[in-house]
Chain A
């Protein structure tokens, strides 16, 4: 009986953790989408690593007013930018939560291709080899259980 209760409690804990994780992941994914779709209308995507996380709060308030974003959208971008800041350099992607398909995918490909095509030495830091290596390492550590979801 104790074993059964333990299993049920563990299951509930896993489900709650998964729910929290999904919620946070969703915010990051939504932020990535809003970031890619709205910011690039006027200017190149800026690296989250340009500023510290507190400054991004202020800057997103400024950009909310300038770009006519809703509070939720501005918050999502802030969460995304803050989440991608400080991990290696800072990755910027689009459609992190729901990868686009069809024509959308082609459009994103071209955008990313253009982003990747900066001259050597001037490539946006968020797509550097060091970042990719850093994320690969981070992923491996997660898979090997050396990192845990708090």
Chain B
């Protein structure tokens, strides 16, 4: 009853507010001022992590990701995000995105530059530490700062190229959206490339494809007769072949309660333009009030040159995350699983699974304190505490 009274009051106030707002707006052009404007936004975090079994290890970390937004009136925006973080003895810097957006159309946005790829949802929308409900990223998406999911399937994808984004409401509750992009694409990681001590996300070799020294730490490799090369995104802005990466994501959303996305990309990563690298993803989210369920699944396929033939390695993974807010507290549970990577029926690399239990305390709508404990088979349990803030 108390809630209903509150809702009635808020809705009543909203109606009144609409009237007063209309009063305030009357005589005022709704179009934004054409004057350029610079906004500094972003997020930052401080964290402490420890492994709780075997040799006790613990470390502090911190990161800041300033987002710069600069608009030239209502149709043109430049936006970029830098990420500064600690990695071992170094402070690392990553350009997550730097893009120009043209928004002169009703349903279409055109993007050029380096941008977060709309593959799945986590990488593009959920990875900021104040939004992600756990200190770590899901195994599907590695993220170097503000929580590293070592041995993940894909890095948070960010690449240079062009993108077309379309959105269309259908009726009052349904909306559809589509994003299509072409980018430089992944590249074969050779020798000690990327081994400069900087472990920032764009240099993280795709671990599903790593059997060499470039393998992301923590990845457990099975005995395999295959030598599968490593592939990296954003290893450099110089493309290594004539082939580009093509991808897209189609989404359906119903009201504020349900959304589903299907994603795919295709690229070739070798200098000779022969070897395919494909990804397929499915993402679903359902929320009702303070309860939220989010799940994503990804399949990555990589061709490689074996003795006298071409082979294809497949690896799939998924996560499901449940969160429910009780006042300022929010318990979270996430189950991550990477299935074995297989070439034909042979296991090329064993999978992983992690159960993460966490509880968040929201100091404000943009500042959670996150406490989490991770269980992983054959690995030490891990404890982490992270304080994040969006600004």
- Asked if residues B70 and A117 are in contact (CB atoms below 8 Å), the reply is no
- A28, B22: Cβ atoms under 8 Å? yes
Among the listed A46, A59, A72, A118, which residue makes an inter-chain contact with B327, where contact means beta carbons less than 8 Å apart?
A118
Please give the distance in Å from B239's CB to the nearest CB on chain A.
25
Q: Chain B: which residue is nearest A97 at the CB level?
A: B18
* Chain B residues whose C-beta falls within 8 Å of the C-beta of A84 in the assembled complex: 17, 21
Which of chain A's residues has its CB closest to B390's CB? A43
- B18 interface neighbour in A69, A96, A118, A142, Cβ under 8 Å: A96
Provide the bound-state CA to CA distance between A32 and B16, in Å.
13
Q: Which residue of B lies closest to A24 (CB)?
A: B22
Contact in complex: B39, A58 (CB < 8 Å): yes
* Bound CA–CA A108/B255 (angstroms): 11
Identify which of B15, B26, B257 contacts A24 (C-beta below 8 A).
B26
Complex Cα gap A23–B20 (Å): 13
Residues of A within 8 A of B15 (CB): 96
Task: Decide if B222 is an interface residue (CB 8 Å cutoff).
Answer: no
Q: For residues 15 through 39 of chain A, which have their beta carbon under 8 Å from a beta carbon of chain B?
A: 20-21, 23-25, 27-29, 32, 36-38
CB < 8 Å A-B pair total: 229
- The interface on chain A, measured as residues whose beta carbon lies within 8 A of the other chain's beta carbons, has a size of 78
Count of interface residues, chain B, beta-carbon cutoff 8 Å: 79
27 of the cross-chain contacts (CB-CB < 8 Å) are A24-B18, A28-B21, A41-B285, A44-B365, A46-B366, A47-B365, A51-B39, A58-B39, A58-B69, A62-B67, A62-B79, A65-B79, A65-B103, A70-B168, A71-B107, A72-B106, A75-B30, A83-B17, A83-B25, A93-B10, A93-B14, A99-B11, A104-B255, A122-B364, A139-B16, A148-B23, A150-B27
List A residues at the B interface (Cβ < 8 Å). Answer: 20-21, 23-25, 27-29, 32, 36-38, 40-47, 51, 54-55, 57-59, 61-62, 64-73, 75, 78-80, 83-84, 87, 91, 93-97, 99, 104-105, 107-114, 116-119, 122, 124, 127, 132, 135, 138-139, 142, 147-150
Q: Give B residues with C-beta under 8 Å from A.
A: 3-4, 6-7, 9-11, 13-27, 30, 32-33, 35, 37-39, 41, 67, 69-71, 74, 77, 79, 101, 103, 105-107, 109, 111, 124-126, 130-131, 165-169, 177, 179, 251, 253, 255-257, 259, 285, 287-291, 325-328, 361-366, 390
